Amino acid sequence: MKNTVKIDPQSIPDHVMEMLCRPLVGLIEEFYQDPANVAPYIEWHKRKYGRLPSNIDNLNAVLEAGVSL
């Protein structure tokens, strides 16, 4: 028999949610420093919105890595 737990994210207090998410910020920033990780995001953004994202700090590095935009 499988036990399941349902969690309503809306019921989690803001301070608890911040505490749970805080460790992810540095990992996400580090992940997106690699142009190889930024390229799929850029491609997805172009498909979804029809334009390049305006918030890519290392766009030049992505282009230099050979990603065709």
Taking only the tens place, the pLDDT of each residue in 7-41 is 999 999 999 999 999 999 999 989 988 888 888 88
At 14 the pLDDT is 95
pTM above 0.75, yes or no: no
What confidence tier does 67 reach under pLDDT thresholds 50, 70, 90?
low
The answer to whether residue 5 scores a pLDDT higher than 70 is yes
Please give the residue range of the domain that contains residue 60.
35-69
Give mean pLDDT, residues 46-59: 80
Tokens coding 40: 């799929």
Question: How does DSSP classify residue 57?
Answer: T
Domain count of the fold of the chain = 1
Please report whether residue 14 resides in a domain: no
List the one residue out of 29, 47, 50, 25 whose CA is nearest residue 38. Answer: 29
Please report whether residue 52 resides in a domain: yes
Please report whether residue 23 resides in a domain: no
Q: Which H or E element spans position 41?
A: helix 35-49
Higher pLDDT: 68 or 1? It is 1
